[in-house]
Amino acid sequence: VNQTLAGIIFLTGSLLLPDGSVLDDGALRIEDGIITALGTKVDLEAAGAARDARAIDRAGRWIAPGFVSPLARTGCEPEADESYTSISPEILAVEAVDPWSEALANAARGGLAVAGIAPGAGNVLGGWVGALAIGDGPLASEVLDPRAALRASLDASRFVPQRMPASLPGAVSILRRAIAIAMDRPPGADPKADAIAPAARGERAIFIEARTAGEIDAALRIRAASGAIRLVIAGADDAEDRLDAIRDAGAAVILDPLGPASSARALRAPAALESRGIPFAFAADAPEELRWSIALARLHGTSRRACLAAATETPARLLGIGDRFGAIAAGRRAHLIVFDGDPLALSSRIVEVLRGGAPRKEEKP
């Protein structure tokens, strides 16, 4: 069941707060899809927050923020890497999305609020990750930001073959030059430089695929050489060998989703990153992957707070939409998932998804 929250709503239930704790008998006032007040039901009613509002009572249910995945190919054409050139910062990955795709509809039902639709890791500069708010229906998805983060890759094993570059040092050399040139050229002089500039100047994050310790080191050196960039390391299989260096660089990490086949190293990674205070998120195409990741990270010693943040607040921040998504908090969009139990437990079922913001545009003919 999906509902669009139009008008003024007074929603009651158990609220999952950003620190992972639960506010029983909580309530939200939602105006035109934006959370304007939250607290206990008693307090909010006393403060008059229920006035003029349509009441939606979900007492006994758990209300969680919609999930966010920072790196996804949800509903995209199968080819993730354009083979034309390895330096294509002009590419916008949101343009690969098929609005009619079933994957997109399934993701909406599973509570995915925002996906960072991304190019693959086959190109050094594959293009821009777009922040896509997953809508309720084929044409209701909304591009929040077509240039939310720049996608880069140092994973030579994934590069499109028989083309420049074919090695890690070759990729490093291109990436370093690209950032240097983007900082150097005046606006309008070079379309490629213009396309890279927001990430080179740190206005947007750069998601660099770096899996081995050597690749992570290379990403950190690029960060050190160009002080302005906001580095996010994607993949990071060897993160546990580089925890201090990642923390000292102020970098965040995007991990592969965890599943039953994950390596011991991958299962240890969330708790290890949390121990150093390194923000991390899980990449996922489908919300179920996020729920598996949360459950397995919990099983391997990660706190409730860090697990929740990894699927909501942190990815929203990495995509530059942290002011609108990623938490049940005043001022955020009311994209909410109603569960019949603890949202961080794999056994809890989704009862409904409540969605504020853009109303449904039109139905499939």
Partner 1 sequence: VRMTFLACAMLAARAPASETIAVRGGTIHTMAGDPIPDGMILIRDGKIAEVGANVAVPDGARILDARGLIITPGLIDAGTWAPCGRAAHEDAREDTIDLRIEEAIEPRHPWIRRALADGTTAALVTPDNMPAIGGLTVVIGLRPDGVEILRRDAALKIAITGEVAMGNMMTRGGVTSDYRFRRPTTRMGILWLLRRRFLEAREGKPPGEAEGLAWVHPEAPTDLARLEAGEIAILRQAMAGDLALRAAANLRSDIEAALRLAREYGIPKITIEGAYEAAYMLGELRADGARVILGPHFDVPARYVERAEADEYLWSIAAELAKAGIPFAFSSGGRAGEWAGVRGQAIHAVRANLAPDAALRALTRGAAEIIGIAERAGTIEPGKRADLAAWSGPVLEWTTRAVWVMAAGEVFTTPGGSSGD
The residues binding partner 1 (CB under 8 A) are: 83-85, 87, 156-157, 162-170, 172-174, 177-178, 180-181, 190, 192, 212-215, 217-218, 221, 238, 241
How do 230-235 and 252-255 pair as beta strands?
parallel
Nearer to partner 1, 237 or 285 (CB): 237
Nearest to 317 by CA among 253, 225, 274, 266: 253
Structure tokens at 60: 């006994």
Residue 82 region by backbone torsions, left for phi larger than 0, else alpha for psi between -120 and 50, else beta: beta
CB of 163 to partner 1, least distance (A): 6
**CA torsion through residues 251, 257, 262, 268, sign:** positive
Q: Nearest approach, Cβ of 189 to partner 1 (angstroms)?
A: 10
CB distance 339 to 22 below 8 Å: no
- Is there a contact between 289 and 254 (Cβ–Cβ < 8 Å)? no
Give whichever of 37 and 180 is closer to partner 1, judged by the CB atom. 180
CB of 256 to partner 1, least distance (A): 19
- Interatomic CA distance for residues 277 and 152, integer angstroms: 24
SS3 state of residue 320:
coil
In the β-sheet with 125-133, what is the strand arrangement from edge to edge?
Answer: 67-72, 112-117, 125-133, 142-153, 205-210, 230-235, 252-255, 280-282
Cβ proximity to partner 1, 21 vs 167, nearer residue: 167
Give whichever of 174 and 318 is closer to partner 1, judged by the CB atom: 174
Q: For 318, what's the count of Cα atoms within 13 Å in the CB-facing half-sphere?
A: 37
**Least distance (Å) from partner 1 to the CB of residue 274?**
21
Comparing CA positions, the residue from 168, 247, 262, 252 lying closest to residue 215 is 168
Q: Are the beta carbons of 50 and 323 closer than 8 angstroms?
A: no
Closer residue to partner 1 (CB): 169 or 341: 169
- Name the token pair of 126: 């594959």
Give the separation between CA 57 and CA 105, rounded to whole angstroms. Answer: 26
CB of 187 to partner 1, least distance (A): 16
Compare residues 158 and 305 and give the one whose CB is closer to partner 1.
158
Residues present in the chain in total: 365
The secondary structure of 171-190 as a DSSP string is HHHHHHHHHHHHHHSPTTS-
Tell the smallest beta-carbon distance from residue 255 to partner 1 (Å).
19
